[in-house]
């Protein structure tokens, strides 16, 4: 009799377990100067698993070697890296029904580019922390002893729109010069395309894919000095000018001017809905959030977002 009850209990346990929905998988893309399995990323994944027990998490890599993966955040071709990542995600069986995604700093805008350009397997909710969706008007400042960053920054500053920089320096590929918009459109082969800024090259698939998100959560750091302007994280940007400043005095005048920030809903990209952002917003699927502090000082501001926008049932 006891054996019969034991077997019956085991059968009931299996039946109940089969009815408990699995949490939707999660994909992470780390930020500049980090790697897929750094101590910080491993701790972040551990904390998420405490919130969503049993969740499958994949941390995107360009190289499995941690040092090479960190280097790939500075050097490489973004479009080639995106293709590599799309193949990587498509080969993971746990992701084939779709996943939520969290992008940290530039990892967020790259995940957004993945949604637009590939999205197979599809992203459900996308959360981006301090991401440069409308580009940057200055190359990120490096930490004092981050020599890899310092070398990349100096090379990019010298000739940000040169062919070499646009093929080899990651940050140059999302540098959007507000004082020379024409050169940005002509030379940059990443951001103008994923933002559908070039009229003759607009891709409606990008807009359809992006609008397919269930939710887009945009997180800005209130004291961010690394992402310039910080409002790029919310699809805001400096007012654009069409021509290069003519001399040093003009350059100083532009630097001294108050920079007018054009918010998301006043951007042509939004008004004309080049990427599906307006469609998302009009159905209430765009969420604006803030983390108090400097770039990637996440504190505990991430927890509520992880609870609400990740780990849902498949």
* Euclidean distance between CA atoms 255 and 291, whole angstroms: 28
* Phi-psi map region of 235: left, alpha, beta (phi>0 left; psi -120 to 50 alpha): left
Beta carbons of 24 and 122 less than 8 angstroms apart: no
Task: Find all residues with CB under 8 Å of 195, minimum gap 6, and list them.
Answer: 133, 134, 269, 274, 275
Burial class (CB in 10 A: 0-12, 13-18, 19+), 148: middle
DSSP state of 143: P
Task: Tell me the catalytic residues.
Answer: 105, 224, 295
Per this entry, what is the length of the chain? Answer: 314
* SS3 assignment, position 69: helix
Residues 6+ apart with CB under 8 A from 123: 27, 98, 99, 100, 101, 111, 114, 115, 213
Rg (CA), the chain: 21
């Amino acid at each position: 009799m006891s054996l019969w009850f034991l077997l019956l209990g085991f059968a009931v346990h299996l039946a109940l377990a089969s009815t408990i929905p699995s949490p939707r998988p999660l994909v992470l893309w780390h930020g500049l100067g980090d790697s897929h399995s750094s101590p910080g990323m491993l701790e972040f994944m551990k904390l998420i698993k405490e919130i969503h027990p049993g969740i499958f998490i994949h941390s995107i890599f360009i190289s499995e070697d941690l040092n090479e993966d960190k280097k790939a955040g500075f050097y490489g071709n973004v479009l080639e890296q995106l293709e590599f990542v799309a193949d990587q995600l498509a080969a993971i069986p746990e992701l084939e029904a779709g996943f939520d995604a969290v992008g940290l700093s530039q990892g967020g805008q790259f995940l957004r580019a993945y949604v637009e350009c590939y999205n197979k397997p599809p992203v459900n909710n996308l959360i981006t922390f301090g991401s440069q969706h409308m580009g940057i008007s200055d190359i990120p400042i490096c930490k004092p002893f981050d020599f890899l960053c310092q070398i990349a920054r100096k090379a990019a500053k010298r000739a940000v729109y040169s062919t070499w920089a646009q093929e080899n320096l990651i940050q140059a590929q999302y540098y959007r010069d507000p004082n020379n918009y024409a050169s940005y459109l002509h030379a940059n082969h990443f951001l103008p395309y994923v933002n559908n800024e070039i009229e003759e090259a607009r891709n409606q698939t990008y807009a359809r894919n992006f609008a397919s998100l269930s939710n887009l959560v945009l997180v800005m750091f209130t004291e961010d000095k690394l992402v310039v302007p910080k409002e790029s994280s919310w699809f805001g940007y400096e007012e654009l000018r069409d021509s290069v400043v003519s001399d040093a005095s003009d350059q100083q005048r532009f630097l001294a001017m108050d920079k007018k920030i054009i918010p998301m809903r006043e951007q042509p990209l939004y008004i004309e809905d080049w990427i599906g952002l307006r469609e998302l917003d009009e159905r209430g699927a765009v969420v604006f959030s803030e983390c108090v502090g400097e770039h990637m000082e996440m504190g505990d501001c991430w927890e509520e977002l992880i609870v609400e926008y990740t780990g849902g049932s498949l």
